[in-house]
Amino acid sequence: MTQTELSVRQRRRRAHALLTKTHPDGDCIVWTGSIGANGYGQYRTNDDNLTSHRLLWELVFGQVPEGMAIHHTCENRRCINPYHLKLLSPAAHLRHHRLLTACPKCGSSRWQQRYRSDGRPNGHRCMDCHARAERARQRRTTKT
């Protein structure tokens, strides 16, 4: 069943159920429920396992257009305040997070955004540079 088929009552009930698993942080509505492997809040419904911010966005604004990414303008990806979310094309979204550029050190494209445990961004990391540093560190510790 798609979101558009939900009655107003079902929407309200679902939005309410989502909001019981949050706490306010300034303007942000921070998700306190379970967090998926992707770092986003997850909400299990009868038929699906959805990210909680996307679910609330859809309850408020309707279906997310096919292929669009949801960006957190507040940069806290635990936040599910629909007014802090903005639809971007996947390319624009990658550009925003500066993920279309290569690693400035080694030129690798495995350049990723890092996040703190509270869901806020914490700079970038090159997975290749990180793996190299990790190998070097291991060599040092096995030597001594």
Question: What residue ranges bind Zn ion (CB under 5 A)?
Answer: 28, 71, 74, 79, 81, 84, 103, 105-106, 108, 126, 128-129
Residue type for position 69: A
CB of 42 to Zn ion, least distance (A): 17
68 to 27, 50, 118: CA distances (angstroms): 24, 15, 25
Nearer residue to Zn ion within complex by CB, 50 or 103 = 103
CB of 71 to Zn ion, least distance (A): 4
Angle at 12 between CA 7 and CA 14, to 5 degrees: 95
CB of 33 to Zn ion, least distance (A): 16
CB of 135 to Zn ion, least distance (A): 13
Nearer residue to Zn ion within complex by CB, 55 or 126 = 126
CB of 8 to Zn ion, least distance (A): 25
Nearer residue to Zn ion within complex by CB, 50 or 74 = 74
Burial of residue 118 (CB within 10 Å: 0-12, 13-18, 19+) is: exposed
Nearer residue to Zn ion within complex by CB, 11 or 110 = 110
Are 23 and 30 in contact, with CB atoms under 8 Å apart? yes
Output b/e per residue, 80-111; b: 16+ Cβ within 10 A: bbbebbeebeeeebeeebeeeeebeeeeeeeb
